[in-house]
Structure 1
């Protein structure tokens, strides 16, 4: 019996170490990706051409968003699930367009800060050509994406930030979207 208990203890410890290793791997990968994206952004600014953060990346940074708290987020050129795992993505507009710059991000990671924003708060966006655009939040609303399709205004002086809602939902997805509108 003692032998069986020892084997169960060893197996339990091995499983626990395996889980800890897996969690460390994911955290390390996320940390490294943010540094590689930041380097790709700086290289984009220096060379004037988009740079992929790693050779097999299917996206690249197209802007840098600074929150009212001073946190920097690198905006990626895609809203695919793979890209959104590493940062907010450009959905439409901006960057040589007459549409509002529209960014999407996950509510429980990069865009969790949207919940704390207030009307009048300032956001700054740096574009790939180095120009800075300052925006002030003018509206925040919850919409149902099944009943009201997203309308991207033809106004290059607007910034839209979109994430899923509610922020504390247990399951991801759902039709509700939290939309923050800001004007330059």
Structure 2
């Protein structure tokens, strides 16, 4: 075998190995996200059934704290008990000191706009949200307003108003799906800017108005 044929064979083998490594890396990212979601769900179910918090994986520095349900969108999110950068990589998280789920305190929850809080691009004023705590208590909130603030702005909330505030970055990374928003959406008149979106909801002391369609 002449030299150039050997070089070609070695080069082809190297390209195959490189391609395999790239493919494995590309597959690992969604697999990691899926696995984290499943482990967090298991952690939440354990908390619901036993009343004892459980780390989703041994080295995690967070645990499941509650579940958010967006009734019209039929989407559920397990909320973690803190909102540091590591926790937000895996799910939405409660922002201290607004992380008391006693039914009277204001609760603030943050999430990334390109993953777990992506659905905030499609919420509307009047939408109802259910917050389920580990003891099985369900608290209902109704969205009434939103605001856009600078990323550097401090989160100024009254701790004892009993409301719910959802926080994410704005704009959303892909604005193509915002064209379908109706005029009653809190995002309908917001200009494109690198800021922070705050969605405000007040408690409603009743069963939810929205009922999912019968399938």
- Aligned-residue RMSD, C-alpha: 2.0
Shifted more, 58-67 versus 136-145: the winner is 136-145
Structure 2 counterpart of 1:160, from 155, 160, 165:
165
1:26-175 aligned within 5 A: 26-67=29-70, 68-91=72-95, 92-96=98-102, 98-146=104-152, 148-168=153-173
Q: Which runs of 5+ in 2 are unaligned?
A: 175-192, 204-215
Shift of the alpha carbon at 1:60?
Answer: 0.3
Deviation at 1:142, TM superposition (A): 1.0
Structure-2-length-normalised TM-score: 0.76
TM-score normalised to the size of structure 1? 0.88
* Structure 1 stretches lacking a partner, 5+ long: none
Q: Give SS of 1:164's match.
A: strand
Moved more, 148-157 or 126-135: 148-157
Contact in 2 for aligned 1:101/1:156 (Cα 8 Å)? no
Is the Cα contact below 8 Å between 1:65 and 1:72 reproduced in 2? yes
Please list the CA deviations of residues 90-147 of structure 1 after superposition, one character each: whole Å capped at 9, or x if unmatched. Answer: 002332375311000111100111111110111111012210111111112211133x
Deviations 1:67-112 (A, max 9, x none): 2311211100111111111100000233237531100011110011
Task: Tell me by how many angstroms 1:10 deviates.
Answer: 2.5
Give 1 or 2 for the bigger CA radius of gyration. 2
